[in-house]
Structure 1
């Protein structure tokens, strides 16, 4: 049996998840968003953290509770683990999985050149407008069509307005690009960014991300970037991020998975 972890239990999981460098984990452990599960409330030996579609597993992978947790996932899941035992368990339990690489970056605010980021803002093409995401933009259908994950981890749009940060680029009053806080943690945010296909290759993502990064630095927050693909990783480098490593990520289609 697995149990939902309260704040006291989450405090016991920091060491277990320490090998996985992810601010999304911190979002849950620090109580901002997401849910944690454990096998034992007093002395957990295996644990799961779920924040949106991201799911992290740690501890003893070879237990009945670990198997139960591996089924306790969203319909579409990005699973991240830090051991061969967990990878083997995922691959043996689930049939609907695909493994791909994501890209981590060093987390150091000193890597950013603020003058460079300010110069990027001035490169916005004509007829485009950069705006901070407010309640009006956050309710626009075009904003959500770009990415369901701009605000999905927050309790509501108003919760995002209260606790999150975002910048959007509009073309003829329609949102065509945006960069927002996918998640938040004590020291900063995790960035989510997307551009409409018809408006790509114009530097819009670079402009929106620069605005978001500068806002975070002004607030004393760290704008964490975790690249979903090589294109995202290359954009991050242009903004000042320094690549740390690539790592395995599992996309799990729960509809294709076996049953216990």
Structure 2
């Protein structure tokens, strides 16, 4: 029977994580980023399903050949996950194997669903590869700022769209305090509005997963590159490793990563089907 672990029991899943696997799964198991974990056996789990706290997907961890877990997955998703997903407005299941042996299992388990897939690429940046010959000058009127507690609180109401920053941080973190304790970030301000952000989405040890977004009306000005460089420089100065995870089809994001010196370290496949 698949059951949910209490947060105080997440440590039981550490040995199931693939060492070269995704940062997000590790961050939830370590209790740094929010999420939920469902396992085959609460006392001695062999296989599990991690639901990321930002509702950005599910990770399969542990033994991909665990028949007891695998045969129960469809029923569990239909009777538990779908009900919980509807509460948060989620209409798709996006599943990812923590190691690529899960791919075959996922395809087999969900063969009766209309299963789609996409390719994901992971990049990291080491100090020796950093292409630091960039000017951080940007168009007049745009200003790069560090995301500070003062900026976040916005007590003086100087930022008109502060909810954009708030929504981005709480999407990944259980509280603003947790973000400021574990991560950091930069933004670009234009006419009293935050128009681009780059910050630590998921964190494990000294590895910081990059989350980056530029408001649509300000895209095409290389703001993502500029704010990413500010973030990356801070990482390298503090011996932190920036980790960039994006869809293979997201050519602009990959172009930004490569222009700074990120190197592709591994790829994986994501699978999806619509909740009925």
Query: Scaled by the length of structure 2, what TM-score is found?
Result: 0.77
Per the alignment, residue 109 of structure 1 pairs with 126
- Match for residue 96 of structure 2? 80
Q: Match of 2:255, SS?
A: helix
Q: Deviations over 1:184-212 (max 9, x none)?
A: 21222211101111211211101111111
Equivalent of 1:99 in 117, 120, 133? 117
1:161 is aligned to 2:177: no
- Runs (5+) with no aligned partner, structure 1: none
Q: Is the 8 A contact 1:147 1:194 kept in 2?
A: no
Q: Which one of the candidate residues 242, 246, 250 is aligned to 2:271?
A: 250
After superposing the two structures, state which structure 1 stretch, 141-150 or 83-92, moved more: 141-150
Preserved contact between residue 2 and residue 68 of structure 1 (Cα < 8 Å): no
Query: In 2, Cα distance between the equivalents of 1:161 and 1:19?
Result: 26
Distance 1:24 1:141 in 2: 31
Paired residues for 1:2-21 under 5 Å? 2-6=2-6, 10-18=10-18, 21=21
Shift of 1:143: 5.2
- Deviation at residue 172 of structure 1 after TM alignment: 0.8
After superposition, what is the alpha-carbon deviation per residue over 1:18-69, rounded to whole angstroms, capped at 9, x for unaligned? 1762111110122212222211023222201122223101334643443355
The answer (yes or no) to whether the contact 1:165–1:180 under 8 Å persists in 2 is: yes
In structure 2, C-alpha distance between the alignment counterparts of 1:172 and 1:84, rounded to whole Å: 51
Assess, with a 3 A threshold, how the Cα gap between structure 1 residues 87 and 123 changes in structure 2: closer, same or farther: farther
Q: Does 1:39 align with 2:59?
A: no
Alignment CA distance shift 1:157-1:108 (3 Å): closer
Structure-1-length-normalised TM-score: 0.81
Please state how far the C-alpha of 1:126 moved relative to its aligned partner. 1.7
Distance 1:146 1:32, change over 3 A: closer
Structure 1 position 130 matched with structure 2 position 149: no
Residues 143, 176 of structure 1: 8 Å contact kept? no
Distance 1:84 1:19 in 2: 20
Say whether the 8 Å CA contact 1:151–1:182 is kept in structure 2. no
Residue aligning to 1:237: 258
Q: Is the 8 A contact 1:46 1:66 kept in 2?
A: no
Render the CA deviation track for 1:100-134: whole Å, top value 9, x for unaligned: 222112x4523442633xx34x2322210001112
CA RMSD of aligned residues (A): 2.9
Aligned pair 1:29/2:36, yes or no? no
